[in-house]
Chain A
Amino acid sequence: MSRIGVFVCHCGENVSRTVDVERVAKEAGEISGVAYSCDYKYMCSDPGQNLLKKAVAEQNLDGVVVAACSPRMHEKTFRKAAAASGLNPYLCDMANIREHCSWVHENREEATAKASDIVKLMVERVKKGKALAPITVPVTKKALVIGGGIAGIQAALDIADSGHQVLLVEREPSIGGHMAQLSETFPTLDCSQCIMTPKMVDVANHPNITLYTFAEIEKVEGYIGNFSVTVRRKARSVDEDKCTGCGICMTKCPKKKIPNDFDQGHGMRTAIYVPFPQAVPNTPVIDRENCTMFQSGNCGVCAKVCGPGAVDFQQEDRITVEAVGAIVVATGFKLYSIDRKPEGSPIQGYGEFGYGTIPDVIDGMTFERLASASGPTGGKILRPSDGREPKQVVFIQCVGSRAREKGISYCSKVCCMYTAKHTMLYHHKVHDGQAYVFYMDARTPGKGYDEFWRRAVEEEEAVYIRGMVSRMYQRGGKIVVMGSDTLVGVQVEIEADLVVLATAVQAQEGADLLAQKLGISYDKYNFYSEAHAKLKPVECATAGIYLAGACQGPKDIPDTVSQASAAAAKVMMLFSKDQMERDPVVAKVNEKYCVGCLACKKVCPYGAVEEKEIRDRQGNLVKVTAYVNPGVCGGCGTCQATCPSKSVELDGYTDEQIMAMIEAL
């Protein structure tokens, strides 16, 4: 016979204002199987918990129901208290009479009756409950970091410095990401590459970091602590071990006019190339689509001049399978382009700005490359169309961002700051130039940020115009910008030599495909979803995978580095134990009844169901059944609802328990 204890919490006034808690406690005491029932003002407080512990001991309770707030608040608290008094924690459950009752109803009579029902339900459930023990899973103490921008670099360095192995996989031929493209960074105007390249070199030299560049993730299997990742290392056509990075191949390559992605298409590179001079690793890559040797079979100059003989035209992609315990996703962002978008796309281009056909209308990153000393113009701000110095530059904020009509409703966070920075860079380089900025708001919340913006306006003489631009068109070699000043209430027309658009920050190319491989959630903009917006900003709902940087949402460098270190800390938390404990509310397959239809496998959102061969003593195959990996199972119960033969049940939510709850009503 059960001996359940029921504790009804007043929750201050939260519950007792609407629910007659004393009556609920009294009615609970009358349920068969309830040996003890009381009410108390604050169950989660120390005295409240002590009350629970005392009752368990003195009344010899074999199950506990705490009728109070949501289990998401205090289930852990009460289970710990129960465990402390010797009761199996999984025989302690919460009846939610706050979020599910007192907070959503007004009528006291009806709310009290409902609360009583809820308590009855949970009592019946606990009566049929089983003692469960936590599941332990081993942990492979090696981390995978996907993405070699500043987020990935920081996370990799932090994890490696704590003594664990890291594999850093980067899609481009070099690490550095977008930060390497920047000229100076706000709010200090530090040279971006100067602060970044030491970290890049650290990554390359760190004994605990294995760096794969020009590589992509093919497949991810497994679960927290035990991932199996297939990585494709694309063929560079250059042997990394032999190459000394001397660069002679690049100087001799006959194909010199290929637009360089690093310079946003405004600079040129050769077919065998490193993306930028400070690339890490400094090993070139052959762009096979543009290489004469690969396209027509003639050339091979680079191979001829290479001293160590590192050029290898026969090189093929290499596939490796790596075992890791945690994954940090740091894949970064891409910039929105105003070009015409395909029919039916939810993202629109900007026809009123020329759909990208006007050569002197550029985006913010292109301006960075113009301003950068290593850029296509050697750091001079020059018009792409005729190479002349622009004397009037118009900067336009919020191009694509905050525009739900154009498909993006969020704010890109970094543009107000970098546009202010651009006006300063422009002013420093073109002393007699005039910068105009069309803006809606100046979003400058960080440390020193607002002062930075005011410096642009007050000292660097940028003219900030509060209003947007309706359209721009070409007239006599200039670009006529038609905007408005909403503070004065007039239309404003400016003949610009150069127009710089602060385009929206979007999720990286292929973000959705990678998310599907990893099994993590992403939102409608393809930014990766954190587990909880406030309290779990670097974890995913999928255990063992962490987020760092702009892949989770638009972000500046300080926040990116913070988040990367936070993700690294989470990884280190995971690696601090040899075994990992998991909640035992997992599904178990009854192999006697299971026919192996594997419907559960199809519906499992975690990929936790495997096939299991049942063999007899002679080794003959008897049947194939489903098997739920307790390390991956998320305890959602979808398999239990799907199984046609009722062969799989969730521990803690068995069919028997659920039927008892229903019948109690």
Chain B
Amino acid sequence: MHLSNETMNVGFVKKVEALSGTSVRRCFQCGKCSAGCPMAAFMEHPPNRIVRLLQLGQWERVLAGRSIWYCASCETCSTRCPNKVNLASIMDALRKLSWDADGPSKESYVQLANRLFIENIRTYGRQYELRLGAAFNLKSGQFLKDLMLGPKLLARGKLKMFHSKNKNLPEIEAIFSRIEEMRKKGEAL
């Protein structure tokens, strides 16, 4: 790793700090976050290493991997950090920056699920779970995934076949549009 003013992207880190409202420099790499993270085994960079890479301004390595997408937002790290580094918010901020950049991340399934979830809100207002599951299977090419669960859940009334649109849908659409406008105008990150 060659470190210099050019290779350390401080601007990116400042953006992460602004989005997350916490300081990356406070972390002294004690590792308590990684010790308690339920998902650390699935990540190629455990949480403390993500922060370390940020401290060194190495944003590409952070966004390229799948680590940030495997964060479960369980908030254990932020709760236990001795320096009150809000790691959960940092993960949110990194995901957003990766999402915006439509980035080089390898983790497509989790991103796909997130995208379909938000689309549901925009289309129906509330989660249409059957559609969510079916669309995910289709788009991820895992047609047979959880196939046996579907009928079981339907039979017990846990899944609705059909879903009506929420009466406040125009308002929801307006919220989405307004946020897009604000971002275009640079009024929001």
Residues of A whose CB lies within 8 Å of any CB of B are 352, 398, 402-406, 440, 466-471, 482-486, 489-492
Closest chain B CB from A504 CB (angstroms): 11
Q: Let me know if B7 is at the binding interface, CB within 8 A.
A: no
Q: Is the CB of B81 within 8 A of A484?
A: no
| Chain B residue nearest in CB terms to A352 | B80
Closest chain A CB from B36 CB (angstroms): 3
- Which residues of chain B have C-beta atoms less than 8 A from A469's C-beta? 32, 35
14 further interface pairs, Cβ-Cβ under 8 Å (given A402-B82, A404-B83, A470-B32) = A403-B82, A405-B81, A405-B83, A405-B84, A406-B82, A470-B33, A470-B37, A470-B80, A471-B80, A486-B34, A486-B48, A486-B49, A491-B35, A491-B46
CA distance A492 to B46 in the complex (A): 12
Q: Is the CB of A484 within 8 A of B83?
A: no
Interface-centre pick from A398, A482, A486 (highest chain B CB count, 10 A): A486
- Which residues of chain A have C-beta atoms less than 8 A from B82's C-beta? 398, 402-406, 468
- Which residues of chain A have C-beta atoms less than 8 A from B32's C-beta? 467-470, 484
CA distance A490 to B84 in the complex (A): 22
- Which residues of chain B have C-beta atoms less than 8 A from A489's C-beta? 34, 45-46, 49
- Which residues of chain A have C-beta atoms less than 8 A from B30's C-beta? 398, 440, 467-468, 486
CA distance A484 to B45 in the complex (A): 13
Q: Is the CB of A467 within 8 A of B31?
A: yes
**Chain B positions 94 through 138: 1 when the CB is less than 8 Å from some CB of chain A, otherwise 0:** 000000000000000000000000000000000000000000000
Q: Let me know if B172 is at the binding interface, CB within 8 A.
A: no
- Counting chain B residues whose Cβ lies within 8 A of the other chain, the interface size class is 20 to 34
CA distance A466 to B34 in the complex (A): 12
- Which residues of chain A have C-beta atoms less than 8 A from B81's C-beta? 405
Q: Let me know if B40 is at the binding interface, CB within 8 A.
A: yes
Partner of B36, one of A405, A406, A482: A482
Closest chain B CB from A483 CB (angstroms): 5
Q: Is the CB of B84 within 8 A of A484?
A: no
Q: Is the CB of B83 within 8 A of A470?
A: no
- Which residues of chain B have C-beta atoms less than 8 A from A403's C-beta? 82-83
Q: Contacts A486-B48, A491-B40 known; A467 to B34 CB distance under 8 Å? A: yes
Tell me what chain A mostly uses at the interface: helix, strand, loop, or mixed. Answer: strand
Q: Is the CB of A483 within 8 A of B35?
A: yes
Q: Let me know if B175 is at the binding interface, CB within 8 A.
A: no
16 contacts between A and B (CB under 8 A): A352-B36, A352-B80, A404-B82, A405-B83, A440-B30, A466-B31, A467-B35, A468-B30, A470-B33, A470-B35, A470-B37, A482-B35, A484-B35, A484-B48, A486-B34, A486-B49
Closest chain A CB from B72 CB (angstroms): 15
CA distance A52 to B100 in the complex (A): 72
Q: Is the CB of A486 within 8 A of B31?
A: yes
Closest chain A CB from B80 CB (angstroms): 6
- Which residues of chain A have C-beta atoms less than 8 A from B76's C-beta? 470
| Chain B residue nearest in CB terms to A485 | B31
Q: Let me know if B176 is at the binding interface, CB within 8 A.
A: no
Residues of B whose CB lies within 8 Å of any CB of A are 28-37, 40-41, 45-46, 48-49, 76, 80-84
CA distance A642 to B43 in the complex (A): 66
Closest chain A CB from B13 CB (angstroms): 20
Q: Is the CB of A468 within 8 A of B35?
A: yes
CA distance A406 to B81 in the complex (A): 9
Partner of A470, one of B29, B36, B45, B84: B36
CA distance A406 to B32 in the complex (A): 14
Closest chain A CB from B48 CB (angstroms): 6
| Chain A residue nearest in CB terms to B31 | A467
Interface-centre pick from B29, B36, B37, B82 (highest chain A CB count, 10 A): B82
- Which residues of chain B have C-beta atoms less than 8 A from A398's C-beta? 30, 82
- Which residues of chain A have C-beta atoms less than 8 A from B40's C-beta? 484, 491
Partner of B41, one of A406, A466, A470, A491: A491
Closest chain B CB from A350 CB (angstroms): 9
CA distance A492 to B35 in the complex (A): 7
Q: Which 9 A-B pairs have the closest CB atoms?
A: A470-B36, A403-B82, A467-B31, A470-B35, A484-B35, A468-B32, A486-B31, A484-B31, A484-B34
Q: Is the CB of A484 within 8 A of B46?
A: yes
| Chain A residue nearest in CB terms to B29 | A486
CA distance A149 to B33 in the complex (A): 39
Interface-centre pick from B34, B35, B49 (highest chain A CB count, 10 A): B35
- Which residues of chain A have C-beta atoms less than 8 A from B46's C-beta? 484, 489-491
- Which residues of chain B have C-beta atoms less than 8 A from A468's C-beta? 30-32, 35, 82
Closest chain B CB from A464 CB (angstroms): 13
Interface-centre pick from B31, B81, B82 (highest chain A CB count, 10 A): B31
Q: Is the CB of B31 within 8 A of A471?
A: no
CA distance A406 to B79 in the complex (A): 11
Q: Is the CB of A471 within 8 A of B36?
A: yes
CA distance A398 to B82 in the complex (A): 10
Closest chain A CB from B26 CB (angstroms): 9
Q: Is the CB of B84 within 8 A of A404?
A: yes
- Which residues of chain B have C-beta atoms less than 8 A from A440's C-beta? 28-30
CA distance A491 to B41 in the complex (A): 8
Closest chain B CB from A206 CB (angstroms): 46
CA distance A490 to B49 in the complex (A): 11
CA distance A634 to B171 in the complex (A): 69
- Which residues of chain B have C-beta atoms less than 8 A from A466's C-beta? 31
| Chain A residue nearest in CB terms to B40 | A491
Q: Contacts A440-B28, A484-B46 known; A491 to B34 CB distance under 8 Å? A: yes
CA distance A424 to B49 in the complex (A): 32
- Which residues of chain A have C-beta atoms less than 8 A from B49's C-beta? 486, 489
Closest chain B CB from A442 CB (angstroms): 14
Closest chain A CB from B163 CB (angstroms): 41
- Which residues of chain B have C-beta atoms less than 8 A from A470's C-beta? 32-33, 35-37, 76, 80
Closest chain B CB from A399 CB (angstroms): 10
CA distance A482 to B76 in the complex (A): 13
| Chain A residue nearest in CB terms to B28 | A440
| Chain B residue nearest in CB terms to A465 | B31
- Which residues of chain B have C-beta atoms less than 8 A from A491's C-beta? 34-35, 37, 40-41, 46
- Which residues of chain A have C-beta atoms less than 8 A from B28's C-beta? 402, 440
CA distance A631 to B83 in the complex (A): 46
CA distance A406 to B46 in the complex (A): 23
Closest chain B CB from A519 CB (angstroms): 35
| Chain B residue nearest in CB terms to A493 | B35
CA distance A468 to B45 in the complex (A): 17
- Which residues of chain A have C-beta atoms less than 8 A from B83's C-beta? 403-405
- Which residues of chain A have C-beta atoms less than 8 A from B41's C-beta? 491
- Which residues of chain B have C-beta atoms less than 8 A from A485's C-beta? 31
CA distance A405 to B80 in the complex (A): 8
- Which residues of chain A have C-beta atoms less than 8 A from B36's C-beta? 352, 470-471, 482
CA distance A553 to B35 in the complex (A): 31
- Which residues of chain A have C-beta atoms less than 8 A from B84's C-beta? 404-405
Closest chain B CB from A396 CB (angstroms): 11
Closest chain A CB from B37 CB (angstroms): 8
Closest chain B CB from A603 CB (angstroms): 38
CA distance A482 to B32 in the complex (A): 9
CA distance A469 to B49 in the complex (A): 16
Closest chain A CB from B126 CB (angstroms): 36
- Which residues of chain A have C-beta atoms less than 8 A from B29's C-beta? 440, 486
- Which residues of chain B have C-beta atoms less than 8 A from A404's C-beta? 82-84
Q: Is the CB of A483 within 8 A of B31?
A: yes
- Which residues of chain B have C-beta atoms less than 8 A from A483's C-beta? 31, 35
| Chain A residue nearest in CB terms to B45 | A489
